[in-house]
C-alpha cells in the first residue's frame, strides 16, 4: 500500500510542476516490484518485521530458480549459494529446513536454520558489519532481532563454520552457540578461556571484553571468516579485490612473525657497523627508528651504527615504531634498560607502562660506546622509573643505589616512603630506581651509564669535562675503605654546633641520624658534644652511622644493640637494613648522643618483636637493662621484653613491645638521674 501511495504522490508532484496540461496524459511506464519467489515459493510470510520470508526445505546441491528480481547474484550470500545464472543458483548448505528471508529495501537475501544450536549451527552477532553483497554496514548493531543483525554460519565440516561478511572500520562481533544472549558457554570469544588463536592477528584482534575487533593492518571490505573449533583457530581471508595485502620489507625481505613477539612483525638480520638498511612500505622510518642504532636516516633507509651481530628488528604496527635488539648480548657487551612510564624516543609519549621484559617494546637494549660505557635514548615523563640490567630478562641489576645519577636536579634516586597514614612506619628506603629530579621536564633524553666513573647521566645535560672520579668527603676529608665490610668511613674531630660539609653525597636527609645532624637551610649542624667521631657510610644501603671514639663510654655516652630495630630513616621492609645483636656492623648498634648530664637520646626504627638493651660501652656486659629503669611510654607502646614459659609470662632484661605497640620511628630518652627511659612515637 505504501508503494502505491508513494507512486501516486510522485506523479502528482511531477504534473503540478509542468506548464503543459497535456502531460497528464503522458504516463510513464512504472515497473512494480513482484514478490520474490524461491524455488517456486513466494516469500510472503513476515518471520521478522520488514522482511519477506518463508520456511523452505532445501537440499544440498539443489538448483533453485528465483523470480521477482532482475538478477540474483547481488542478493545472495556466497556461503549458501553458488551462482549459476541470472535466475538460478545451487544451494550449498546441508539438507534441511531453513528460513529464507528477503530484505526488499536493500534487496538482500538471508538464510538461517531457526532454533539451531551448536554443534549443528553457530550464530554471528556484532556491530559495523554487513551482508557480503551490500558492501556497506547493514546491521543496526548488537541486537538479536532481525535477519540483518544475526547471521547463521555455514557449517563446512564438523566443528568448522564459515561466514562471508562485509567488515567496516570499528567492527566488533562474537559467535553464539544459540541465537540469543547468554553468558558463559554460549559465547565464543577472543578471551583466553575460549583459547581461540587468530591466524591473522594483524587483520583481526581481540579486546578485553572478548570481542573480535580490527587489527592494526585491517582494511574494510568483504572477508571469509573460518572458525575451526577442532583446532581452535579463526582465520580471515580477504574476498574484496579492493583490499590490498600489506607487506613490509627490510633489505628487500618481507617481515613475518617471530616467536619473541607474535603481535609484532619481525625479521632476523645480520648487521655490521656501517651497513645500509632499507625499508619498504613503512612510510617514513625517520619517525620510527631508535637513534642509538641508526644514523643518516631518510624516509626509507638508514645506516647501522651498532656493534656487529645477529639482530632481530621488530615493527609495532599499532604504534608504528621499530625496535632493534640482540637478546644474546649480556654485560660487558651490552646492557638493558627496563622500567615504567617512559617511551620510544620517536613516540613523544609513554609506550612502556610497567616493569616487564615480555615484548621488544618493554625493555631497550643499550648501545656499547666503549668499555663499561653504554647509552640509550628514551622519552621520559615526570613519573618515570628505570634501572639497568646486565642481561635480559632480570639479572645483574645496576641501580641508583650503586650508580650515581647526574645531574641530580634532573635525574634522581627513587625513594619509598612508608606512610603512617596508610599503616606505614614513617621511615623509607631507596628503591634503586632512577627517577626525575626536582627540575626535570618531560622530553627525549640520551642516557649514558658509565661504570668506569660509576655514574648515570643525561649526557646532553652534562659537561663531561667536569666529571671526575667518584668521591665522598666530609669537611674536606675523603672517606676511605672502613674496617667495617661494605662501608667507607672517616674519623673527625667535631664541635657541637659547627657546620659539617658533605661532598659527593645526595639525599642526605634520607641518610643522617637526626640526633647527630640538623638541616638548617641546607646546611648541616652537628648536635652532639665535642669530640672525635667515626662516620660510616654504606653506599649500597645509602645510610650514614655515627659513633663516638673518644670518651666513648658512660657517662659520656651509652650504646644500644638488639634485634629487629634500626636506623631511624629505614622503612623496615628490607632485611639488609634491620639490626641484629652485634658490634661488627654499624647497622647492628647505635651510639646515643649525650644531651645533658647522665641523659642520652637517640631515634630508632622499632619493628614488631624488637628487643634491645643499653650498654655503658661498646661491647658486651656493662648493661643497662629494662629492670634498671622505669619505662615511660604513653599508651603502653613499650614494655619489658618477655616470653611465655608454659602458661606464665616471663619478663626479660630487654626493652620490647608493649600491649599496644605499633612499628615505627621512636624517640628514646634515657635519663640516669631519674632512672627513666621515655619512648615517644614520632611516626
Confidence band for 37, pLDDT divided at 50, 70 and 90? very high
pLDDT for residue 29: 43
Please tell me the predicted confidence (pLDDT) of residue 330. 95
Compute the average pLDDT of residues 336-347.
97
Torsion of CA 518, 521, 523, 526, to 10 degrees: -20
For 445-478, the pLDDT digits (tens) are: 999 999 999 999 999 888 776 677 788 999 999 9
78 and 174 both lie in a single domain: yes
- Predicted local confidence at residue 574, as pLDDT: 93
Pairing of the two strands 373-389 and 363-370: antiparallel
Same domain? For 364 and 496 the reply is no
Q: Read off the CATH number of the domain in which 315 is found.
A: 2.60.40.3620
The verdict on 214 and 305 lying in the same domain is no
Number of domains in the chain: 3
Instruction: Compute the average pLDDT of residues 490-498.
Output: 98
pLDDT at 459: 92
Same domain, 266 and 382: yes
CA 635 → CA 424, 603, 625, 679, distances in Å? 19, 19, 21, 10
7 in a structural domain: no
Rounded to 5 degrees, φ, ψ at 332 are -90, 5
pLDDT of 318 reads 87
pLDDT tens digits for range 602-632: 999 999 999 999 999 999 999 999 999 999 9
In a domain, 657, yes or no: yes
Q: Is residue 9 part of a domain?
A: no
Q: Are residues 122 and 208 located together in one domain of the fold?
A: yes
Query: Does 213 share its domain with 305?
Result: no
For residue 145, CA distances in Å to 148, 167, 187 come to 8, 20, 17
* Residue carrying C-alpha cell 666529571: 467
Cα 66 from Cα 40, distance rounded (Å): 7
Chain CA centroid to CA 462, Å:
31
Q: What is the pLDDT, as a whole number, of residue 395?
A: 87
Last residue of a domain, one of 172, 206, 238: 238
Whether 14 maps to a domain, the answer reads no
pLDDT band for position 34 (cuts 50, 70, 90): low
- Integer Cα distance of 452 and 322 in angstroms: 31
Question: What are the tens digits of pLDDT across the range 242-264?
Answer: 888 889 999 999 999 898 988 89
- Asked if residues 579 and 572 have their Cβ atoms less than 8 Å apart, the reply is no
pLDDT attached to residue 468: 72
Whether residue 305 is contained in a domain is answered as yes
User: Is 1 a member of any domain?
Assistant: no
Residues 234 and 328 grouped into a single domain: no
Q: What pTM does this model have?
A: 0.76
CB contact at 8 A, 484 and 586: yes
d(CA 126, CA 103): 19
Cα angle at 80 between 50 and 98, to 5 degrees? 55
Residue 21 above 60 pLDDT?
A: no
Summarised one tens digit per residue, pLDDT across range 348-373 is: 999 999 999 999 999 999 999 999 99
Is residue 184 located within the same domain as residue 318? no
Among the three residues 465, 484, 509, which one is the final residue of a domain in this structure? 465
User: Cβ distance 588 to 561 under 8 Å?
Assistant: yes
Q: What pairs with residue 494 in β-bridges?
A: 531
Residue 190 pLDDT exceeds 90 = yes
pLDDT for residue 464: 73
CB 306 within 8 A of CB 364: no
Confidence of residue 28 (pLDDT cuts 50, 70, 90): very low
Strands, E, within 25-92: which ranges? 37-38, 41-42, 52-58, 63-67, 81-85, 88-91
Q: H helices of 382-490, where?
A: none
What average pLDDT is seen over the chain?
92
State the SS3 of 135-198.
CCCCCCCCCCCCCCCEEECEEEECCEEEEEEEEEEEEEEEEECCCCCCCHHHEECCCHHHCCEE
**Residue whose C-alpha is closest to residue 678's, from 581, 604, 617:** 604
User: Do 626 and 670 belong to one domain?
Assistant: yes
Q: Which of 194, 213, 238 corresponds to the end of one domain?
A: 238
Please give the sequence-ordered ranges of beta strands (E in DSSP) within 395-542, or none if there are none.
397-398, 404-406, 411-417, 428-436, 443-450, 455-458, 473-474, 477-478, 480-481, 488-494, 499-500, 502-503, 517-520, 523-526, 531-538
Cell of 78: 556466497
* Owning domain of residue 283: 249-465
What integer is the mean pLDDT of 500-507? 93
Is 23 domain-assigned?
Answer: no
> Looking at the domain assignment, is residue 93 inside a domain?
yes
pLDDT of residue 466: 67
Clarify whether residues 206 and 300 are in a common domain.
no
Rounded to whole angstroms, how far apart are CA atoms 592 and 600?
A: 6
DSSP conformation class of 467: -
Same domain, 550 and 588: yes
In the chain the first and final C-alpha atoms are separated, in Å, by 85
Q: How far apart are CA 93 and CA 91, in angstroms?
A: 6
Length reported for the chain: 683
pLDDT score, position 553: 96
Pair (429, 542) in one structural domain: no
Inter-residue contact 234 to 198 (CB < 8 Å): yes
Which pLDDT band holds residue 12 (cuts at 50, 70, 90)?
very low
Look at the block and give the residue holding cell 639482530. Answer: 311
Element (H, E) at 3: helix 2-16
Amino acid at each position: 500500500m505504501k508503494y502505491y501511495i508513494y507512486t501516486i504522490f510522485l506523479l502528482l508532484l511531477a504534473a503540478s510542476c509542468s506548464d503543459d496540461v497535456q502531460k497528464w496524459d503522458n504516463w510513464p511506464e512504472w515497473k512494480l516490484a513482484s514478490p520474490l519467489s524461491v524455488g517456486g515459493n513466494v516469500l510472503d510470510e513476515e518471520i521478522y518485521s520488514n522482511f519477506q520470508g518463508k520456511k523452505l526445505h532445501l537440499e544440498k546441491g539443489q538448483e533453485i530458480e528465483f523470480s521477482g528480481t532482475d538478477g540474483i547474484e547481488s542478493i545472495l550470500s556466497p556461503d549458501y549459494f553458488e551462482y549459476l545464472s541470472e535466475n538460478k543458483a545451487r544451494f550449498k548448505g546441508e539438507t534441511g529446513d531453513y528460513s529464507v528471508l528477503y530484505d526488499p529495501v536493500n534487496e538482500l537475501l538471508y538464510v538461517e536454520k531457526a532454533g539451531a544450536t551448536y554443534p549443528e549451527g553457530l550464530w554471528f552477532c556484532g556491530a559495523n558489519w554487513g551482508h557480503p553483497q551490500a558492501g556497506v554496514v547493514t546491521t543496526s548493531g548488537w541486537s538479536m532481532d532481525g535477519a540483518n543483525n544475526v547471521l547463521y554460519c555455514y557449517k563446512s565440516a564438523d566443528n568448522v563454520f564459515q561466514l562471508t561478511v562485509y567488515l567496516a572500520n570499528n567492527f566488533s562481533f562474537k559467535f553464539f552457540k544459540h541465537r540469543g544472549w547468554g553468558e558463559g558457554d554460549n559465547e565464543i570469544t577472543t578471551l583466553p578461556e575460549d583459547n581461540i588463536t587468530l591466524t591473522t592477528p594483524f587483520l583481526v584482534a581481540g579486546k578485553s571484553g572478548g570481542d573480535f575487533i580490527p587489527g592494526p593492518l585491517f582494511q574494510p571490505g568483504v572477508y571469509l571468516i573460518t572458525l575451526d573449533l577442532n583446532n581452535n583457530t579463526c582465520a580471515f581471508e580477504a574476498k574484496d579485490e579492493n583490499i590490498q595485502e600489506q607487506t613490509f620489507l627490510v633489505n628487500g625481505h618481507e617481515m613475518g612473525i617471530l616467536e619473541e613477539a607474535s603481535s609484532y612483525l619481525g625479521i632476523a638480520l645480520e648487521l655490521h657497523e656501517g651497513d645500509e638498511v632499507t625499508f619498504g612500505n613503512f612510510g617514513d622510518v625517520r619517525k620510527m627508528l631508535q637513534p642509538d642504532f641508526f644514523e643518516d636516516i631518510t624516509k626509507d633507509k638508514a645506516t647501522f651504527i651498532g656493534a656487529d651481530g645477529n639482530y632481530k628488528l621488530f615493527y609495532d604496527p599499532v604504534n608504528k615504531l621499530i625496535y632493534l635488539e640482540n637478546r644474546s648480548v649480556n654485560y660487558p657487551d651490552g646492557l638493558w634498560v627496563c622500567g615504567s612510564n617512559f617511551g620510544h624516543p620517536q613516540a613523544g609519549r609513554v609506550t612502556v607502562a610497567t616493569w616487564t621484559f615480555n615484548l621488544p617494546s618493554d625493555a631497550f637494549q643499550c648501545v656499547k660506546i666503549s668499555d663499561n660505557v653504554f647509552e640509550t635514548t628514551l622519552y621520559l615523563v615526570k613519573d618515570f622509573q628505570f634501572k639497568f640490567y646486565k642481561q635480559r630478562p632480570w639479572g645483574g641489576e645496576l641501580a641508583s643505589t650503586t650508580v650515581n645519577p647526574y645531574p641530580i636536579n634532573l635525574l634522581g634516586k627513587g625513594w619509598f616512603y612508608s606512610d603512617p597514614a596508610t599503616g606505614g612506619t614513617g621511615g623509607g628506603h631507596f628503591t634503586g630506581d632512577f627517577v626525575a629530579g626536582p627540575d626535570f621536564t618531560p622530553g627525549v633524553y640520551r642516557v649514558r651509564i658509565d661504570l668506569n666513573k660509576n655514574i648515570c647521566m643525561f649526557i646532553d645535560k652534562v659537561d663531561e669535562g667536569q666529571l671526575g672520579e667518584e668521591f665522598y668527603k666530609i669537611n674536606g676529608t675523603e672517606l676511605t675503605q672502613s674496617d667495617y665490610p661494605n662501608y667507607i668511613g672517616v674519623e673527625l674531630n667535631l664541635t657541637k654546633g659547627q657546620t659539617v660539609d658533605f661532598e659527593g653525597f645526595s639525599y642526605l636527609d634520607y641518610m643522617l641520624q637526626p640526633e647527630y645532624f640538623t638541616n638548617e637551610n641546607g646546611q648541616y649542624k652537628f648536635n652532639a658534644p665535642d669530640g672525635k667521631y667515626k662516620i660510616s657510610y654504606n653506599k649500597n644501603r645509602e645510610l650514614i652511622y655515627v659513633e663516638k671514639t673518644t670518651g666513648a663510654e658512660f657517662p659520656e655516652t651509652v650504646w644500644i644493640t638488639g634485634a629487629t630495630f634500626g636506623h631511624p630513616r629505614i622503612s623496615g621492609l628490607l632485611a639488609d637494613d634491620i639490626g641484629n645483636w652485634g658490634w661488627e656492623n654499624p647497622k647492628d648498634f647505635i651510639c646515643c648522643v649525650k644531651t645533658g648530664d647522665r641523659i642520652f637520646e637517640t631515634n630508632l626504627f622499632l619493628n614488631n618483636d624488637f628487643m634491645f638493651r643499653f650498654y655503658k660501652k661498646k661491647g658486651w656486659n656493662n648493661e643497662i637493662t629494662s629492670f634498671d629503669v622505669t619505662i615511660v611510654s604513653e599508651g603502653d607502646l613499650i614494655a619489658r621484653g618477655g616470653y611465655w614459659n608454659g602458661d606464665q609470662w616471663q619478663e626479660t632484661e630487654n626493652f620490647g613491645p608493649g600491649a599496644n605497640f605499633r612499628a615505627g620511628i621512636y624517640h628514646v630518652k634515657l635519663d640516669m638521674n631519674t632512672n627513666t627511659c621515655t619512648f615517644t612515637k614520632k611516626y
